[in-house]
């Protein structure tokens, strides 16, 4: 699943997709994100303000990705990846 800025995660590694606006009011979510940041497990994959965060298993450690893409879009992408009916990307031109 493409998260943004060229970062792609395997569907089976995704633990959860969360809306930042709706979840960061929770004290537990704030603690989780703060601890992940302190442990250098957060990666920003956006240029503008993030709209979602994706928690992925990275071996025994969880990795948190802050993405500009809306959670609903990420969910659609994950469903398309699983069904095999998603957008086709056969190849990309190499940078010049």
- Alpha-helical segments (H) within the chain: 20-23, 27-38, 71-83
> Is the confidence at residue 88, as pLDDT, over 80?
no
Distance (Å, whole) CA 89 – CA 37: 33
* Least confidently predicted of 2-11, 27-36, 67-76, 86-95: 86-95
Distance (Å, whole) CA 8 – CA 78: 11
The pLDDT mean for the chain works out to 86
Tally of CB atoms within 10 A around 5: 13
Distance (Å, whole) CA 62 – CA 30: 16
The whole-model pTM stands at 0.81
Q: What is the DSSP letter of 11?
A: G
> Is the confidence at residue 81, as pLDDT, over 80?
no
């Amino acid at each position: 699943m493409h998260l943004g800025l060229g970062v792609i995660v395997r569907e089976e590694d995704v633990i959860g997709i969360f809306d930042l606006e709706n979840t960061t009011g929770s004290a537990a979510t704030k603690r989780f994100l703060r601890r992940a940041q302190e442990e250098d497990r957060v990666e920003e994959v956006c240029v503008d303000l993030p709209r979602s965060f994706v928690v992925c298993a990275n071996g025994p450690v969880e990795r948190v990705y802050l993405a500009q893409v809306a959670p609903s879009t990420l969910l659609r992408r994950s469903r398309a990846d699983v069904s095999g009916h998603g957008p086709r990307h056969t190849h990309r031109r190499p940078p010049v």
